[in-house]
């Protein structure tokens, strides 16, 4: 395959002429060479030569040249998002990615041709206010809403993840030759708050307060505390997922898939579920034809789908205030369950499966790395071991 570098005004283009295997004819593919601000002419020429060598090497290895044509990054991001929706990605995740694309990424760099998205372009974007600032938007009546400030590090990380995945998809479908984000390091996020791992006494007080001030959701908080399931998995439970004879749950909605097929429950938690169902049956009888009857374990007042914000924020806040156990978030109950199971001697693989973690190393770093009792036990084991060895083989003094 032949290739050359062509100048058009201040811009350089790489032109390659691969042979079409179907027709035997050559066809021209033009690629604009990105020129970062401040790059001199010599460096720009060297960048063009480097890009030409990469395209020629790609053709030698694969027999074709990736061709994005006039497709822009914004257009490809929308195509990729549509493909993920058709593949069955959770609607909430699709909505989140779509918001990041349409409110942040596309307005800033979406107009760039896909072939001109380089590592430096992405790196500059991730450090720019478009990616890192909180959004202040204008309503139809002209008033502004939102607040000024910095977005969370997680927001920037999600934008990095979207760009990396979408551009890897462009490589897979042969639109571009390589992923410009592949070698960039993701933005780091410092943990702003350590999880509150409740003691057994605090946990008992919290669940007792739930029975008093939030009877509708008391069983949910008990399940969260004893199983470590995520709030999304708990709210997605239907009564058909409860196996009363085997004292277990079938978890159909989960962030990750593990080898665990059913979630065993202890007798007290199963009894709490029975009491919860009896209470719900009374509500159904009182509502009569107005009850939706959709089968949710933790249905709302009308029998419909439960509301996350209502449960995770309003109800939990009331329970925590009544229990007097300090600030507690829903995810703290998950951390508490994992830490207490490990502390009690349950093997890490079993605990990781119950909590839905595929990566055992990540699980241990998250749940076992900061247990004070584990450090105390480690110190006692080492001290006791040395004492036994000293008693068995005492050193003779000279």
Contact 111, 72 (CB under 8 A): yes
Q: How far is CA 19 from the centre of its chain?
A: 43
Rg (CA), the chain: 29
Q: Which of 14, 184, 13, 12 minimizes the C-alpha distance to 3?
A: 14
Check residue 257 and give its pLDDT.
53
Q: Which of 343, 340, 338, 344 minimizes the C-alpha distance to 374?
A: 343
325: how many CB neighbours lie within 10 A of its CB?
20
* Parts of the chain with a pLDDT under 70: 1, 20-22, 58, 61-70, 136-148, 174, 189-193, 253-261, 309-310, 358-378, 381, 392-398
Report residue 104 as tokens: 């942040």
Contact 223, 201 (CB under 8 A): no
Check residue 147 and give its pLDDT.
61
Residue with tokens 């063009």: 48
The C-alpha angle 142, 143, 148, rounded to 5 degrees, equals 130
Helix residue ranges, H only, 314-371? 316-323, 330-343, 348-355, 360-367
Secondary element (H or E) of residue 12: strand 11-17
Residue with tokens 């949910």: 220
Rounded to whole angstroms, the Cα distance separating 64 from 262 reads 49
The secondary structure of residue 81, as a DSSP letter, is H
Q: What is the pTM assigned to this prediction?
A: 0.57
Report residue 19 as tokens: 């042979």
Q: Which of 217, 199, 216, 218 minimizes the C-alpha distance to 208?
A: 218
The C-alpha angle 23, 28, 29, rounded to 5 degrees, equals 115
Check residue 201 and give its pLDDT.
92
Rounded to whole angstroms, the Cα distance separating 41 from 53 reads 18
């Amino acid at each position: 395959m032949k290739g050359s570098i062509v100048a058009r005004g201040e811009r350089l283009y790489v032109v390659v002429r691969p042979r079409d295997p179907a027709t035997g004819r050559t066809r021209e593919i033009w690629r604009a060479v990105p020129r970062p601000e401040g790059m001199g002419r010599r460096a720009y020429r060297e960048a063009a030569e480097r890009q030409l060598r990469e395209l020629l090497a790609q053709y030698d290895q694969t027999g074709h040249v990736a061709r994005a044509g006039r497709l822009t990054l914004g257009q490809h991001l929308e195509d990729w998002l549509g493909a993920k929706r058709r593949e069955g990605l959770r609607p909430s995740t699709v909505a989140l990615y779509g918001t990041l694309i349409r409110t942040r990424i596309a307005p800033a760099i979406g107009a760039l041709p896909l072939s001109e998205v380089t590592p430096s372009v992405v790196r500059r974007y991730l450090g720019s206010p478009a990616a890192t600032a909180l959004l202040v938007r204008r309503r139809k009546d002209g008033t502004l809403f939102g607040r000024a400030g910095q977005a969370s590090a997680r927001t920037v990380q999600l934008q990095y993840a979207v760009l990396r995945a979408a551009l890897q998809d462009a490589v897979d479908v042969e639109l571009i030759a390589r992923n410009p984000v592949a070698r960039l390091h993701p933005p780091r996020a410092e943990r702003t708050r350590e999880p509150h791992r409740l003691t057994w006494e605090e946990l008992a007080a919290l669940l007792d307060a739930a029975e008093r001030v939030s009877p509708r959701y008391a069983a949910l908080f008990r399940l969260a505390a004893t199983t470590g399931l995520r709030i999304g998995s708990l709210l997605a439970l239907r009564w058909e997922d409860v196996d009363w004879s085997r004292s277990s749950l079938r978890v159909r909605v989960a962030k990750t898939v593990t080898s665990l097929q059913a979630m065993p429950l202890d007798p007290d938690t199963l009894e709490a579920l029975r009491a919860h169902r009896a209470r719900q049956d009374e509500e159904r009888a009182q509502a009569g034809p107005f009850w939706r009857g959709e089968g949710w374990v933790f249905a709302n007042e009308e029998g419909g789908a439960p509301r996350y914000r209502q449960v995770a924020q309003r109800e939990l806040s009331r329970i925590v205030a009544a229990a007097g156990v300090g600030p507690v978030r829903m995810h703290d109950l998950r951390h508490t369950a994992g830490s207490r199971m490990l502390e009690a001697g349950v093997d890490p693989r079993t605990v990781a499966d119950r909590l839905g973690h595929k990566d055992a190393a990540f699980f241990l770093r998250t749940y076992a790395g900061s247990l004070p009792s584990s450090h105390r036990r480690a110190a006692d084991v080492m001290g006791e071991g040395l004492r036994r060895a000293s008693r068995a083989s005492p050193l003779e003094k000279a």
